[in-house]
Structure 1
Amino acid sequence: MAEAERERRLRPAQLLFEPAEAAADPEHFFDLESIDDPRALLARATELTLAFRAAHDRAIEFQAVAAAQLADPRRFDRLSAAAIAESADWTEDYAKRMIEFGEGLLRGEGESRH
């Protein structure tokens, strides 16, 4: 993988709900740096942590659904688990598990089990 592509993958996605000028400041993170009271800081940081965990779980579910759709044998342009793994920077075994997870989600089964 080229260094520029690796750097792009390692950089977190831009948080769209944070103003661009604030996101450009490396010291800024959802105004946490402006909270002086440690109790308030802990409470707000905990809220953000829980929100990011929930967002992470939802994003994984969407990845799984997309992987299952891409691997669907009814698609004329379906992709193999290896091709999906390569495009998502996963191992092939993980891609197979994500495809199965996504198939379950598409059938309306279960909760996150990644």
Structure 2
Amino acid sequence: MAQADRNAQPRLRPAPLLFEPAEAASDPEHFFNLESMDDPAELLSRATELTHAFRAATDRSIEFQAVAAAQLADPRRFDRLTPADVAERAEWTEDYAEKMIEFGRSLLKSPRP
């Protein structure tokens, strides 16, 4: 998705993601209590809310990764990292790290509303 397209779209307000107790999270059949819902309409609604919330959280966390990568690779820093160093820390390829650094720089140049 192009940056201009992303900025033109209104941000969805995601459903709240509540942390689950450790014992529930360790049960592979348990997922945000969806397995206990009997009403398929309610299940579809809540599962859709969670899907939107996870997508929004993913998009936002990628933006934060990019900003952090750009900051770590900033040539003005005496302790700056190379794209290879950033890639190693984030478990990315070096090509992807370079793209994320550039994306982060673009985010830093254009302040968000």
Asked whether the two chains share a fold, i.e. TM above 0.5, the reply is: yes
Aligned residue for 1:105? 107
Task: Write the distance in 2 (CA, Å) between the matches of 1:77 and 1:104.
Answer: 21
Q: CA deviation at 1:67?
A: 0.2
Task: Write the distance in 1 (CA, Å) between the matches of 2:111 and 2:101.
Answer: 13
Q: How many residues align?
A: 96
Instruction: Give the residue type in structure 2 aligned to 1:102.
Output: G
Aligned residue for 2:63? 61
Task: Write the distance in 2 (CA, Å) between the matches of 1:23 and 1:52.
Answer: 16
- TM-score, length of structure 1 as denominator length: 0.78
The structure whose RCO (Cα within 8 Å, separation 6+) is larger is: 2
Instruction: Give the residue type in structure 2 aligned to 1:90.
Output: W
Identity %: 76
Residue 35 (structure 2) aligned to one of 16, 33, 36: 33
In the TM superposition, 1:65-76 aligns within 5 A as 65-76=67-78
Aligned residue for 1:92? 94
Q: CA deviation at 1:71?
A: 0.2
Give structure 1 stretches of 5+ with no counterpart: 1-14
Aligned residue for 2:24? 22
Aligned residue for 1:77? 79
Task: Write the distance in 1 (CA, Å) between the matches of 2:110 and 2:29.
Answer: 42
Aligned residue for 2:12? none
Root-mean-square deviation over aligned CA pairs: 1.7
- TM-score, length of structure 2 as denominator length: 0.79
Task: Write the distance in 2 (CA, Å) between the matches of 1:109 and 1:100.
Answer: 15
Task: Write the distance in 2 (CA, Å) between the matches of 1:109 and 1:76.
Answer: 25
